[in-house]
Structure 1
Amino acid sequence: MIVNERETEEGLLVAVCDTDVLGETFESESVSLTVTEEFYGGDEVDETAVVDSLARADVANIVGTRSVELAVEEGFVDEANVLEVGSTRHAQLLRLY
């Protein structure tokens, strides 16, 4: 998986994607999602590092079947809030304080 972290005015923004979806575009009836290098490109890491990043995230965008599954398994995202976009999955996390 690939993780990109950046500080924003709203806090830590984390972008996570499966390595095989970087650079791909996925479409469904109402959604088009392009997994750009600019936004999602970063360090290739193991699942432990992804969990650590998501635990610190104020906002996260997660793309890819395995990345989204991990976020659900670890309790960051509720399965009911996961989108199917073409042949992949997408979820967002927003932590409210």
Structure 2
Amino acid sequence: MNEEKKEYMITAHIENYTGFISRISNIFSRRRINIVSLHAGPSEKSDSRKLIVVVKETEEVIEKLTRQIEKQVDVLEVSYHQNPRRETIQHAN
């Protein structure tokens, strides 16, 4: 069964920002997954940063990516959800 690829947002709250984007990029590169969008900035949680990565993949692949990101040393929390905003834009065209 071939699952349809959809756009997902993966959000990671991290402690130590130095070198983290490179490590995340390597996780995606090893799996040959293109990053649609990447945003890093301050988090609403004190003493942490927030990294948002948007990719177009199957939910199964996203679950595996999320688990892999959670294993990184400086990660406090990781979550994902389907990107509803992009779906709306695509249907409007």
Same fold, TM-score > 0.5, yes or no: no
Q: TM-score range by the shorter chain?
A: under 0.3
Larger Rg, first or second structure (1 or 2): 2
Q: Which has the higher helix share?
A: 2
Bigger relative contact order, structure 1 or 2, given CA contacts below 8 A and separation 6+?
2
TM-score (norm 1): 0.27
